[in-house]
């Protein structure tokens, strides 16, 4: 699924970064469904390489998604995949990425824990610049979560998703 989805991606002309398209989205959704089925089998050591690919897949989906609930689910999936990758290959980079996605998903406690591991695994001369990057991820995460909450459906919208239109109305 991922290979098919990757073939359907666009590319940002300024950054060269991949951009989700409507054609690629179904392949990525199927890949994530397969990943979840794999994780449901509770493997003792989930495949770290696949976890990295799924982390990136979740991130791509989140960037191309308009529904705040779906964005949150994608960010949480990316966080889980990043944690699997970091557990399998502990390093400053893997823990830093785990912290990044934890913050983006709104899990500050997990983000702080992964950030502490990243800071502990780096040369003391590099800690200040790493701390700066981690602080930036934390602030970005706060902004993302604030925006998701502002765009989240209201209780009324969740209870009446059609807004009273299109459904059968009770007769008095």
pLDDT for 60-81, tens place per residue? 999 878 889 999 999 999 999 9
Query: Per DSSP, what are the bridge partners of residue 11?
Result: 18
pLDDT score, position 168 = 45
Burial 72-96 (b: 16+ CB within 10 A, else e): bbbbbbbbbbbbbbbeeeeebebbb
| Spatial distance between the Cα atoms of 131 and 28, rounded to a whole number of angstroms | 33
| Spatial distance between the Cα atoms of 48 and 83, rounded to a whole number of angstroms | 9
Phi, psi of 66 (to 5 degrees): -100, -25
Closest CA to 108 of 140, 144, 138: 138
pLDDT for 19-76, tens place per residue? 888 888 889 899 999 999 999 999 999 999 999 999 999 999 998 788 899 999 999 9
pLDDT score, position 166 = 46
Contact 159, 129 (CB under 8 A): no
Using DSSP's 3-state secondary structure scheme, residue 23 falls into coil
pLDDT score, position 155 = 57
pLDDT for 152-172, tens place per residue? 765 565 455 444 444 444 444
The sign one gets for the Cα dihedral 5, 144, 93, 49 is: negative
- In the block, residue with structure tokens 């990316």: 78
Tokens of 91: 């390093």
| Spatial distance between the Cα atoms of 146 and 161, rounded to a whole number of angstroms | 22
Neighbours of 42 (CB within 10 A): 7
Query: What's the DSSP call for residue 46?
Result: -
């Amino acid at each position: 699924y991922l290979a098919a989805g990757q073939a359907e991606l666009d590319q940002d002309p300024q950054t060269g970064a991949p951009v989700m398209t409507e054609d690629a989205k179904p392949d990525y959704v199927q890949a994530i469904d397969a990943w979840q089925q794999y994780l449901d089998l509770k493997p003792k050591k989930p495949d770290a390489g696949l976890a990295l690919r799924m982390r990136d897949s979740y991130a791509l989906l989140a960037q191309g998604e308009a529904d705040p609930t779906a964005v949150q689910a994608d960010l949480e999936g990316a966080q889980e995949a990043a944690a699997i990758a970091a557990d399998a290959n502990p390093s400053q980079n893997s823990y830093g990425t785990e912290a990044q996605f934890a913050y983006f998903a709104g899990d500050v406690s997990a983000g702080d824990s992964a950030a502490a591991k990243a800071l502990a695994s780096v040369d003391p001369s590099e800690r200040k610049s790493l701390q700066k990057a981690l602080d930036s991820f934390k602030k970005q995460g706060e902004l993302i979560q604030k925006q998701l909450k502002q765009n989240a459906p209201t209780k009324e919208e969740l209870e009446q998703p059609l807004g009273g239109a299109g459904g059968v109305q009770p007769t008095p």
